[in-house]
Amino acid sequence: MRPDRPQPRSGTRRPVAGGGGHVARKRFGQNFLVDHGVIDEIVRAIAPKPGEALVEIGPGLGALTNPVVERSEKLTVIELDRDLAARLRKRQELKVVESDVLKVDFAALAAEAGQKLRVIGNLPYNISSPILFHLLPVAEHVVDQHFMLQKEVVDRMVAQPGCKDYSRLSVMLQWRYDMACVVDVPPESFDPPPKVDSAVVRMTPWAQPEAVDVQVLEKMVAVAFSQRRKILRHTLGAWMAERGLEGGFDLQRRAEEVPVADYIALARRAAAG
């Protein structure tokens, strides 16, 4: 090897601990859980039971899959990595869907199961928000979701008005789910370790959410938070005026001060025309 050729950083191509020779693929967001204390804590938080329709996104090398299926007896897993899916297919108790989770029809999975789903996963962090938004329209088919995400994302999901983390994500998800952070997970619990702290969030769809046009809500919240430090008169004020929506909403607030219920009420007025 020529001495001037760039060398791989030590450890980047080594097999994952206990992974039967598998080398983590960065493009698939592969950070495998290896801390058994943390795995136990997560499985206790999920509390899987026989007869439930459990679906795991990104089972990987089975860190959560194995203890969960021990308790639930059956489990559907969705895995994009062809090599990992091939390994998982050897297990009779698993139904393996080899696919990009963003292409999976969760309503169809629930119809097939004849019951609502419990969805779990240590998500690939590079597509965690698209996964959350893919599941949002099918929340009526879901009992609950337990997801490992970047701690920073979980903080934004559960943030209340007035907090620095209160954001578009807080409003869009709190409208549809009751959410709580249930486990904090440090980088060293994974192989390879991610650069960020992680956390597990429990998301339980509200039984009777306010009916709202999600696209209207999404656009409105994007406008409101486009300049989060400014008074809403400068941003949402114009959006409301364009739609002939005068009054009934205090525009002297900042986006980060407005409760979710106020955004929902305004989106309903806008959709009603």
Decide if residue 59 touches ligand SAM (CB under 6 A).
Answer: yes
How many residues lie near ligand SAM (CB under 6 A)?
24
CB of 175 to ligand SAM, least distance (A): 25
Segment contacting ligand SAM by CB under 6 A, of 58-66, 202-210, 229-237, 248-256 = 58-66
Tell me whether strands 190-191 and 53-57 are parallel, antiparallel or unpaired. Answer: unpaired
Q: Among residues 151 and 254, whose Cβ is nearest to ligand SAM?
A: 151
Question: Cβ distance 125 to 197 under 8 Å?
Answer: no
Reference 54, options 100, 87, 94; nearest CA is: 94
Decide if residue 60 touches ligand SAM (CB under 6 A).
Answer: yes
Question: Cβ distance 176 to 136 under 8 Å?
Answer: yes
Q: Among residues 134 and 253, whose Cβ is nearest to ligand SAM?
A: 134
3-state secondary structure of 26: helix
* Site track for ligand SAM across 121-140, x = CB under 6 A: -x-x--x-------------
Segment contacting ligand SAM by CB under 6 A, of 22-30, 47-55, 202-210, 233-241 = 22-30
Segment contacting ligand SAM by CB under 6 A, of 25-33, 43-51, 66-74, 226-234 = 25-33
CB of 70 to ligand SAM, least distance (A): 15
CA–CA dist 213, 266 (Å, integer): 11
Range 90-109, binding ligand SAM (CB under 6 A) = 100-102
| Interacting residue with ligand SAM among 43, 46, 80, 266 (CB under 6 A) | 80
* Site track for ligand SAM across 247-266, x = CB under 6 A: --------------------
**Residue 55 identity (one-letter amino acid):** V
Contacts of 236 (CB under 8 A, 6+ apart): 220, 223, 224, 249, 251, 255
Decide if residue 157 touches ligand SAM (CB under 6 A).
Answer: no
H-run or E-run covering 137? none
| Interacting residue with ligand SAM among 38, 46, 55, 84 (CB under 6 A) | 84
Segment contacting ligand SAM by CB under 6 A, of 73-81, 105-113, 162-170, 234-242 = 73-81
Which residue reads 């309903």 in tokens? 268
CB of 192 to ligand SAM, least distance (A): 10
Which residue reads 């339980």 in tokens? 204
Decide if residue 32 touches ligand SAM (CB under 6 A).
Answer: yes
Reference 84, options 46, 152, 28; nearest CA is: 28
Side-by-side strand order, sheet with 177-185:
94-98, 75-79, 53-57, 117-122, 142-150, 198-205, 177-185
Decide if residue 72 touches ligand SAM (CB under 6 A).
Answer: no
**DSSP secondary structure string, 78-135?**
EE--HHHHHHHTT-TTEEEEES-GGG--HHHHHHHHTS-EEEEEE--GGGHHHHHHHH
Site of interaction with ligand SAM (CB under 6 A): 28-33, 57-61, 63-64, 78-81, 84, 100-102, 122, 124, 127
